[in-house]
Structure 1
Amino acid sequence: MNLYALLFLTAVAQTSALYSNSDDVVELTASNFRSKVLDSDELWVVEFYAPWCGHCKSLAPEWKKAATQLKGVANVGAVDMTVHQSVGGPYGIQGFPTIKIFGYNKNKPKDYNGQRTSSSIVEFAFKELRQMIKDRENGGSSDDSGSSGRGGGGSGENHVVELTDANFKELVLDSEEPWLVEFFAPWCGHCKRLEPEWKAAAADVKNQAGDAVKLGAMDATVHQQYASQYGVRGYPTIKVFRKGSKHSPEDFQGGRDKSSIVAAAMELYEENIDPPTIDEVVSAKTQEDNCIGKQLCVISFLPNILDTGAKGRNEILDMLAKMGEKFKKKVWGWMWAEAGKQNSLEKSLGIGGSGFPAMAVIVEKKKMYTVLTGPFSEEGVESFLNGISYGRAGRNSHSLKDDKMPEIVDTEPWDGNDGQLPEEEEFDLSDFKWDDEL
């Protein structure tokens, strides 16, 4: 091969590569896939791609962003299937890009079928990280989906609601909750394979969202009225009945595995859950309502009203409300107090040394707390709460004094107005004896 041909082939190889060593995306090959991914105790998000694929090229910049955002939290890799076909073979890769999540059970990776944006990929990775932690704590039991029929039986309670033409309107159409409904046929092989995944997903959704989202199943060979109304022509067909648009259900676009079904259900849950209120700490009951029985409670300490005025204080409260909206799917309590009004609370949490505003998070069950050390800004607070959410409080965690919740005193709530300087007393100076030698 002459020099020009070699240079040409090298240039082609370089231009076809979607990722380089400067990216945070890990290049996975036939020689390192087992050691890096399958033998790892960490979460891996892996893209199987082809350099010539247009969709892969479109995904590449988002994939790089996701890798950077997940650095230190989860691993993001990519397999060039035109070079390393043997890596994707066991997973039935048939199209590009295909994204797989390798969590607790590396032998059963999960499909990612969400949006091809860095934010969606990162959010899904965090969800899978939480699931991986649960699986590790339970010895992997949460991945066991069971094999009992739709009528119940088997291990565990069946949380899939059996739907019929007689109860469909009352349970689904007239309810306030969003629904995922599977229309199936008992003889359908795909339905039989979906059944344990559907049941396992229903149990997981029940555990995470209670009755705020429901999963149902209807035998469309027996109950044909609604199956016909919604144009069900194949089995299984899954329809999404969103709150507010129950009579115009959407086709379910996700994967047919537990993880994808749960992810879709939790998106419906997040759409409909009300954001938390940001309550002023005016009594011990405020603390009890927001801390006792919650995963954790977030307490902000705002400057004196004379320092910010009503406008400045409302800007801070608006930012906190925005944070509450972002983290509304968490079972958290949210409170605030004016600097100096809850001195015992401030002292217990070590607040005030670096000024106000300030923030602390209390985990009441563990009698622990941690304090925001970064900037009290939207970006700083969000980063802090993200870290707390995924157990990264680290050395900033402290035990509550005497393992007790801080003492709260009763105070008057803020009236929403600007502060007023205290009136000074007037002195009668007419009888004051002046010193002639001043």
Structure 2
Amino acid sequence: MKPTSEQGDMLRMLGIFSTLLVTASALYSASDDVVDLSQSNFNKEVIQSDELWLVEFYAPWCGHCQNLAPEWKKAASALKGIVKVGAVDADKHQSLGGQYGIQGFPTIKIFGLNKNKPDDYNGARSAQGITDAALNALRSIVRDRLGGKSSSSSGKKSSDSKSGKNDVIALTDDTFDANVIGSSDIWMVEFYAPWCGHCKRLEPEWAEAATEIKEQTGGKVKVAAVDATANQMLASRYGIRGYPTIKIFHKDEDAPIDYDGGRSKSDIVARALELFAENAPAPELLEITNEDVLKKTCDDHQLCIVAVLPHILDTGASGRNDYLDVMKAMGNKYKKKFWGWLWTEAGVQAELEDSLGIGGFGYPAMAAINARKMKYALLKGSFSEQGINEFLRELSVGRGSTSPVKGAAFPKINTVDPWDGKDGQLPVEEDIDLSDVDLDDYDKDEL
């Protein structure tokens, strides 16, 4: 059936929109000399490499990242065959960004001799500045190697086997509960049988993964093994029927989770780092006490969520803490979004409230601000976990109405003392001393 004229126009518009979406999300292509890095290949390409790597963590929507892209490509071409240059879409691979504490975009890190401790690049965002930093880092590596230092890329099988290092924790019927159940750490536990061929093939991958996971998570994700033939109580409790079986234990889960990923070291490490990011602490909730707090938080994040809470005399400390707890819960729920979270008391930052159109809806109020576009959206529903969740979920998928920030810039922010956590105090009124007033001086008829 031939489409109508209106349908044809709609199809053309959809095609243009799809093209724009692809263009916006693809800062780098296969034709560039920039290596596309992700959660699945990062460890193999970067961490296990002996080469120097410059890695940009970016977000496709980030204007600064878009401005950097041509310079990054130019630097990659100039350094081809000398230094590896890569890029991570941290908006897509959020657990990888979380692993390296990425809070703003673009963030550039230099992975040199010690791959587990990359250096931050804070130089000029030009091809010349980037290549100069790369060559300086190369010279530093050469000097260190001449001085006898070796690579700390972690995960080299020969290094582990020579040192006899094994970070896999052996668990038994007697030690399992005391170590694993109720632990604040995440446990990845392999149930194996000594005679099992698949278990023997997994053993070196499991051991090398354990060492790398320990180093990259600071021991917050633990890798363990249980000989299920010698510890049959545990095997029975968890329904182990085949070998090897890997289960993930965490106190927030009622029952262990089955691991069904790949059995290579890189697969195991990737899953561990994903678990680590999922259980990372919630973003900090900051009070707007000066201009720097507001600007840094909003400039460094895709969105900053700002709440204006009622005056302390209206709620008391208990009521205010209830509102702050709601915000903290939402911050934790959306922690992978790299958003900033702020609050202030009604009237303290009156010019900011005016620039965001807050006031007509009463208090508490909330606005989500995109500082790059200087646009905001207001919470129209209830200031509750359900109401805020619906508001943020709409924003997450690109829905919801937005308005420009008044004046297209943040207004003057007052510098104030932070809330002391206490109830408010009414102003003290001066007592009037009537002791010197002689009522006999007044005519009794006037009294």
TM-score, with structure 2 as normaliser: 0.47
Q: Which has the higher contact order (CA 8 A, sep 6+)?
A: 2
TM-score, with structure 1 as normaliser: 0.48
